């Protein structure tokens, strides 16, 4: 009898522990990533003491994007027949990503550059994704999302991180390498798992969110990370 009670206590403890673990996992899935919680301020390791106020409205973003494009073309125009370079800091990249990524599906985005990799954290509107899917896929998405407790404002928090490279589709696009790391909320996840949990196909994720490149007004010869900046190589005759 005593042994049976002990076994019941152990079994009950295991069930409770598993329940807490499942709740913890789902909490992490639906929790806003740290990078988005501290929105518009970069890593505390940044050498910048004061972070400039970034543009917020679409018009401000377009204006800021045009200034960065001018910076790129003006700098590389000094190298009409040889390869030159232009450095984009985190604020520059943040502006380009927000200007080009944010829209109906991606409600907000923020970037950081760490350990030789570019990280893009996004808030994705699940309703906008659903509107863009076929009826069958829309139902599949709704069913998948209904199993994820804690989703607020139809939002999923998706983060991608990888080494920036020249896109295979266009030499004026900066993409992320194939070995890209993904997160749903605060939990690392593979693209196939991301598709499985949300019901959104890997192709749709790639085309609409994770595989979008950063457009620049030149044909890129090379791109690399240096500290907290991105260096683009090209020439004045490249565009």
Sheet holding 222-226, edge to edge: 84-88, 229-234, 222-226
- Identify whether 12 is part of a domain: no
- Identify whether 187 is part of a domain: yes
Q: How many domains does the chain have?
A: 1
Q: Could you read off the pLDDT tens digit of each residue along the chain, which spans 239 residues?
A: 544 444 444 444 433 333 333 333 444 445 555 656 555 444 444 444 345 566 778 899 999 999 999 999 999 888 777 789 999 999 999 999 999 998 888 888 889 998 999 999 888 887 887 777 666 666 766 666 666 555 556 778 888 999 999 998 888 999 998 778 888 877 788 888 878 777 777 887 777 777 788 999 988 999 999 999 999 998 765 44
Domain span at 43: 31-234
- Identify whether 48 is part of a domain: yes
CA separation, residue 113 to residues 89, 93, 226 (Å): 9, 9, 9
> 181: burial class by Cβ within 10 Å (0-12, 13-18, 19+)?
middle
- DSSP codes, the chain: -HHHHHHHHHHHHHHHHHHHHHHHHHHHHHSPPHHHHTTT---TT-S-SSPPPPP-SHHHHHHHHHHHHHHHHHHHTT-SSS-EEEEE-HHHHHHHHHHHHBTTTEEEEEEEEETTEEEEEEEEEHHHHHHTS-HHHHHHHHHHHHTSTT--TTEEEEEEEE-EEE-SS-TTEEEE-SS-EEEETTEEE-HHHHHHHH---HHHHIIIIITPPEE-SS--SEEEEETTEEEEEE-TT--
- Identify whether 11 is part of a domain: no
- Identify whether 3 is part of a domain: no
- Identify whether 53 is part of a domain: yes
Task: Give the model's pLDDT for residue 147.
Answer: 60
pTM of the predicted model as reported, rounded to 2 decimal places: 0.77
**18 token code pair:** 């598993």
CATH number of residue 78's parent domain: 3.15.10
């Amino acid at each position: 009898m005593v042994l049976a009670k002990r076994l019941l206590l152990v079994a009950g403890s295991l069930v409770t522990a598993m329940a807490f673990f499942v709740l913890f996992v789902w909490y992490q899935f639906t929790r806003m990533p740290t990078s988005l919680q501290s929105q518009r301020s970069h890593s505390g390791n940044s050498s910048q003491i004061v972070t400039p106020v970034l543009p917020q409205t679409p018009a401000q973003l377009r204006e800021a994007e045009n200034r960065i494009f001018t910076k790129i073309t003006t700098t590389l125009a000094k190298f009409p027949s040889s390869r030159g370079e232009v450095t984009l800091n985190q604020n520059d990249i943040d502006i380009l990503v927000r200007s080009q990524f944010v829209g109906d599906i991606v409600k907000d985005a923020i970037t950081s550059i760490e350990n030789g990799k570019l990280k893009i954290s996004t808030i994705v509107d699940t309703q906008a994704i659903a509107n863009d899917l076929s009826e069958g896929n829309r139902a599949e998405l709704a069913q998948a999302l209904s199993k994820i407790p804690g989703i607020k404002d139809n939002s999923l928090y998706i983060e991608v991180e990888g080494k920036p490279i020249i896109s295979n589709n266009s030499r004026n696009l900066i993409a992320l390498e194939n070995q890209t790391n993904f997160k749903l909320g605060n939990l690392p996840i593979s693209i196939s798992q991301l598709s499985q949990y949300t019901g959104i196909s890997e192709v749709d994720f790639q085309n609409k969110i994770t595989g979008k490149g950063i457009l620049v007004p030149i044909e890129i010869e090379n791109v690399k990370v240096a500290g907290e900046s991105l260096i683009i190589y090209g020439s004045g005759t490249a565009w």
